[in-house]
Chain A
Amino acid sequence: NAGVTQTPKFQVLKTGQSMTLQCAQDMNHEYMSWYRQDPGMGLRLIHYSVGAGITDQGEVPNGYNVSRSTTEDFPLRLLSAAPSQTSVYFCASSPTERPSPLHFGNGTRLTVT
């Protein structure tokens, strides 16, 4: 059972480039979310989804887009990368949107130069 799978593990971008961070879960979870982790700041919520076709903004959504066309996949798009987006990105899921433990992927470390 793979759980939450994130690809790639590492990525280096130049300022202005675009890319998509992939996230897939095989647990049939309705709720999925993206966090970014920065030193001393813990994890901050970027976007989340309570089901296929439904997404909403979290605490730090600027510069990121998401979509949820299937229950399994929740990609995060950076349209024009900026150095401030250098971070470690985590995808997480839970069975429903009701408060419950999140299941995390292993993260994507992104560097923007």
Chain B
Amino acid sequence: AQSVTQPDIHITVSEGASLELRCNYSYGATPYLFWYVQSPGQGLQLLLKYFSGDTLVQGIKGFEAEFKRSQSSFNLRKPSVHWSDAAEYFCAVGPPPAAGNKLTFGGGTRVLVKP
């Protein structure tokens, strides 16, 4: 069965500093990978996705993520965080095409931004 681990429950970063959120997955085939962001009281918004091709993926709001098959990782990065990036971030992995669009989510990383 597939699984996703986000090792950091909370991360505090200063505004303007860089941010990296870790995501490790367990999956028996080539995964479909996603990062979502959740602002307080809101649903989840897609930041970026990886299906195939270039392992460095660009997303919205200045985020990028790198797929590393050898490390089973899909870490999310942003060079310079803004106060509005304070939110909870979820990594998710998708199943083979025949199994429906059933995503498995990690436990989330809450990001706090210090002024």
With known contacts A41-B107, A50-B100, A90-B43, A99–B94 Cβ distance under 8 A? yes
Chain A interface bracket (under 10, 10 to 19, 20 to 34, 35 or more): 20 to 34
Which residues does chain B contribute within 8 Å of A106, judged by CB atoms? 41-43
| Number of chain B interface residues as a range | 20 to 34
Tell me the chain A residues, 82-97 only, with Cβ under 8 Å from chain B.
90, 92, 94, 96-97
Q: Give the residues in chain A near B41, CB-CB below 8 Å.
A: 106-107
Which residue of chain A has its CB nearest to the CB of B46? A101
Indicate whether A101 sits within 8 Å of B102 (C-beta atoms), given known contacts A42-B108, A106-B41, A107-B43: no
A residues sitting closer than 8 Å to B (CB atoms) are 4, 31, 33, 35, 40-45, 48, 50, 56, 58, 90, 92, 94, 96-102, 104-107
